[in-house]
Structure 1
Amino acid sequence: MDKSLLFLVLCCVLQFNTAQAENIYYPPPLSEWDKRQNYPIRLLGRALALSDPSLKLTQFAEQVGQDKALNMLNSGQIDVVWTMTNKQREALYLPIRIPIVKGLSGWRLLLIKDEHQRIFDTIGSVNQLSLFKAVQGESWPDTQILRANQLRVISYEGYDQLFEILINGEAQYFPRSVFEIWEEALTYSKQGIAIEKNLVLQYPTALYFFVNSREDVLAKKIEQGLNMMRENGEFDDLFMHTFGPAILKANLLQRTVIRLENPSLPKETPLQDKTLWYQPNMDRW
């Protein structure tokens, strides 16, 4: 084949592949320092690269909160969101039932005012904890879980305002997942916020990728890619690399575990597959 003709053919193929690329939009981080998004973005990007390289993961241009992101998922403006599951969300959106943080979002340490540690030193049960007020996001599934366990909760929609409620003493503790709490504690340390030393709340929950209920093809591609990562070891490697240091710092085996029920957990949650879930066995880390 003539070299000029070959070059023309290659250019046409490249243009065709570029034209065929489909943007998959996801919501941006809540703030510049919010690095929690890095893990799901890397996980999702790799899963799509394995299952369908023509799909291009693209950040949505505007910053949106969780509620708005879910509404935009419903309207098709955003293609994928990652959030904690509950019965209501699974009725509205299509979940990919592979818990992307292995249930670690249900292991919760407490942000408190440093001066209140002596009070929390005396707490070892749900009944004792119920004497104090938690703060949580208005629409977070965690809020429903805490209230279902007879814990008092002050809820507010704005993320930054939740810390203000804790700082000004309206609430006495702010449960945060093992992988969220360290950077948040550092950010608010000058305001006297610290990580409580003795307790961990634990309840079964799953953080999933969700897509529009009509996007079953995209859901299957994400699921296929995640399963490929599980099989080749990339899933566990990324999980351990990302969360291993935080888990070790949390020292979960030395904490008093306060177990809570999660009545909003859908019955389809794959709790029976133990390979999908984290357990605090430090020998693994």
Structure 2
Amino acid sequence: MAHHNIPSVKKLLFAFLVPILIPATSFSANPIRLPRGNSSWSAYANELALRILKVTENHKAPDKIEWRAEYQAQKRQIRNVSEGIDFDVIWTMTSTERESHSNPVHVDIFKGLMGSRVFLIRKDMAQKFANIKTIEDLKKINFVQGQDYPDTPILKSAGLTVHEGDAFGDMIEMIRHKRADAFPRGIPEPLIEIDMFHIDQDISLENHVMISYEAPCYFFFSKKDPTLRERFKKGFEIIEKDGSFDRIFNKHFANVIKKINVTNRVIFHINNPYLSEQSKEALKSQKLWYNRGTLDPKKMIALPTVSTEHREN
């Protein structure tokens, strides 16, 4: 019998496994799941994340990126990334509550811009806002903010009247139908939103007043797997040194900052009582913040904290 020509079981297994063990392109084991939206500030966050991944990539096992739609409520995004569901990294404004669930890198990706809040208003309200000079004037305004936005408790902590809404469009309708007077937006947001949602028929950017508070926006990760967070932490150090952080930031926001005309506004400052100790420490050393280098503290009108009862759920 000529069974000496039959390949051994070991040889057959080896021949079968080789194509799997040595693929043509050896990508990293798991794709990195990132959120993608259609706004300019989402494009900025995505470009920054890709740059960080590029400068920290293992070239023997290149990253595979998987884009996921970012349109989830903010609380749901935080919950999902903390559990490793849908996203491996998200970007959002921080709070003590959010940091208790997920693990951020404490570098503000917007360098303070999101804490510089200008208003979307009805066009027929322009003169009323132009007359705002004092805290008493500001407290006569009815604001609207998202019910799961960290900004909502910050504004309420200063004694301001804040109505809560759900989606962006719903809050614009509240302005339009006089159920609220102003929708505070971070500097990167309102000009794009007016154009993107075609609301300029009766809604405009208010030109005289601004509210300022420390509102760092971080990349957040699951606490269950610190590896990706450590890559981003290292990546920030690299892109700060090589100048690409500044280049990407200026590419997206230099013109927007000029159009917003911050220096000629009446600026009211609110202390943010919802920052974690880690965020407070990070703010002491960070020199990246736009509003720290541009806004004159002597010209700010400080609103005292009157309430911290409103908490995130």
Relative to the length of structure 2, the TM-score reads: 0.81
Whole-Å separation in 1 of the counterparts to 2:151 and 2:211 = 11
User: For residue 39 of structure 1, what is the aligned residue in structure 2?
Assistant: 44
* Residue identity in the other structure for 1:99: D
* Partner of residue 284 from structure 2, selected from 272, 276, 279: 272
CA distance 1:281–1:61, shift in 2 (3 Å):
closer
Moved more, 189-198 or 203-212: 189-198
* Partner of residue 77 from structure 2, selected from 66, 69, 81: 69
Q: CA contact under 8 A between 2:239 and 2:245: conserved in structure 1?
A: yes
Whole-Å separation in 2 of the counterparts to 1:91 and 1:182 = 33
Unaligned segments of structure 1, at least 5 residues? 1-8
User: For residue 226 of structure 2, what is the aligned residue in structure 1?
Assistant: 216
Q: CA contact under 8 A between 2:114 and 2:215: conserved in structure 1?
A: yes
Q: 1:25: Cα distance to partner?
A: 0.9
| Structure of higher CA gyration radius | 2
Q: CA contact under 8 A between 2:78 and 2:101: conserved in structure 1?
A: no
Which whole-Å deviations, capped at 9, do the CAs of 1:137-169 have from their partners, x for residues lacking one? 001000011000111111112222111111111
User: For residue 124 of structure 1, what is the aligned residue in structure 2?
Assistant: 133
Secondary structure of the structure 2 residue equivalent to 1:134: strand
User: For residue 263 of structure 1, what is the aligned residue in structure 2?
Assistant: 273
User: For residue 119 of structure 2, what is the aligned residue in structure 1?
Assistant: 110
User: For residue 169 of structure 1, what is the aligned residue in structure 2?
Assistant: 178
Relative to the length of structure 1, the TM-score reads: 0.88
Q: How many residues align?
A: 270
Secondary structure of the structure 1 residue equivalent to 2:24: helix
Q: 1:71: Cα distance to partner?
A: 2.1
Q: CA contact under 8 A between 2:156 and 2:162: conserved in structure 1?
A: yes
Q: Report the identity percentage.
A: 28
Q: How much is the aligned-residue C-alpha RMSD, in angstroms?
A: 2.2
Whole-Å separation in 1 of the counterparts to 2:29 and 2:133 = 54
* Residue identity in the other structure for 2:223: S
CA distance 1:149–1:275, shift in 2 (3 Å):
same
Unaligned segments of structure 2, at least 5 residues? 1-17, 296-313
Whole-Å separation in 1 of the counterparts to 2:52 and 2:116 = 25
* Partner of residue 56 from structure 1, selected from 43, 58, 64: 64
Secondary structure of the structure 2 residue equivalent to 1:262: coil
User: For residue 6 of structure 1, what is the aligned residue in structure 2?
Assistant: none
Secondary structure of the structure 1 residue equivalent to 2:248: helix
Q: CA contact under 8 A between 1:198 and 1:255: conserved in structure 2?
A: yes
